């Protein structure tokens, strides 16, 4: 089953753009679906993640905030 990564971000966030670029680069070597969600479009997400973006979740489990935890992500993407 292909994992789904959700990147919670906001427009104009430099760290968000950096994490998205890193994830895009990994798509050429790893199989995953990537959903990008703007927290400012949902008051609940804004309240939950406001100062934490970017936030990366893998199959609904929060993996990292602010910076990509590459090792943790690759551990999750590695075949069992």
CATH architecture of 6-68: 3-Layer(aba) Sandwich (3.40)
pTM exceeds 0.85, yes or no:
yes
pLDDT in tens, 24-35: 999 999 999 999
- SS3 of residue 14 by DSSP: helix
For residues 60 and 10, the answer to whether their CB atoms sit within 8 Å is no
Annotated domain spans of the chain: 6-68
Edge-to-edge strands of the sheet including 33-38? 33-38, 4-9, 55-58, 61-65
pLDDT in tens, 17-59: 999 999 999 999 999 999 999 999 999 999 999 999 999 999 8
């Amino acid at each position: 089953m292909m994992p789904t990564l959700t990147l919670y971000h906001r427009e104009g966030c430099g760290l968000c753009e950096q994490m998205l670029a890193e994830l895009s680069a990994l798509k050429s070597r790893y199989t995953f679906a990537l959903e990008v969600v703007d927290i400012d479009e949902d008051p609940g997400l804004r309240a939950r993640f406001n100062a934490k973006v970017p936030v990366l979740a893998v199959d609904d489990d929060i993996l990292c905030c602010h910076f990509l935890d590459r090792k943790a992500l690759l551990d999750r993407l590695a075949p069992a």
